[in-house]
């Protein structure tokens, strides 16, 4: 069950990236990039990264860095594939100025019993690409993104 939950979260995140950016497959993963939003981390990242031999991390890093540099961009995030052990990649990326960020995929718990509120009204919603873009296209400030983050998604174990 953990694998299915985490895989679903990773795929959902990838679908969001596809709304903001173009994608192309590199040797070690999928590059999402956008010249329209060069400083937006969600639009310029390397996802589903797989490097079976840690000795080849430098090659994968070089390939991704060159790809983004050719477009005048910087890769802001790395997200390892589900089956990629993150520890050696974390050590390598830490040395390159990235910082590790973990995401909780799912936690099982009881549904909260909340009293009804007459002063609130929930309106139906539908996915809107423009609203998503408007929400995430604000340029992040250097104080908010001091170094490029990378993401490792995990589930409670």
Distance CA 151, CA 98 (A): 10
User: What is the model's pTM?
Assistant: 0.64
**Residue ranges of domains in the chain:** 2-107+127-154
pLDDT of residue 34: 93
pLDDT of residue 85: 87
Phi then psi dihedrals of residue 155, to 5 deg: -120, 155
Give 38: exposed, middle or buried? Use CB within 10 Å, 0-12, 13-18, 19+.
middle
Distance CA 136, CA 68 (A): 20
pLDDT of residue 91: 92
User: In order along the chain (157 residues), what is the average pLDDT of each group of 10 residues?
Assistant: 68 84 94 91 90 93 96 92 87 92 69 81 68 64 46 46
CA dihedral 136, 15, 7, 5 (to 10 degrees): 70
Distance CA 9, CA 118 (A): 33
Phi then psi dihedrals of residue 54, to 5 deg: -55, -20
- Per DSSP, helices labelled H in 56-103 are 57-70, 86-95
- Output helix, strand, coil percentages for the chain, rounded to the nearest 5: 35, 20, 45
pLDDT of residue 105: 65
> Cα–Cα–Cα angle for 103, 34, 146, nearest 5°?
50
pLDDT of residue 40: 86
């Amino acid at each position: 069950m953990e694998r299915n939950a985490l895989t679903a979260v990773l795929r959902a995140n990838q679908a969001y990236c596809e709304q903001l950016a173009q994608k192309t497959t590199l040797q070690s993963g999928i590059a999402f990039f956008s010249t329209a939003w060069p400083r937006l981390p969600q639009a310029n990242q390397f996802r589903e990264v797989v490097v079976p031999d840690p000795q080849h991390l430098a090659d994968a890093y070089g390939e991704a860095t060159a790809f983004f540099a050719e477009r005048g961009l910087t890769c802001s995030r790395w997200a390892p594939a589900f089956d990629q052990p993150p520890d050696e990649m974390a050590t390598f990326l830490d040395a390159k100025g990235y910082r590790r960020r973990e995401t909780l995929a799912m936690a099982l718990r009881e549904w909260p019993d909340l009293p009804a509120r007459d002063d609130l009204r929930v309106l139906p919603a539908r996915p809107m690409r423009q609203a998503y873009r408007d929400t995430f296209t604000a340029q992040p400030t250097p104080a908010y993104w001091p170094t490029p983050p990378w993401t490792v998604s995990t589930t409670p174990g």
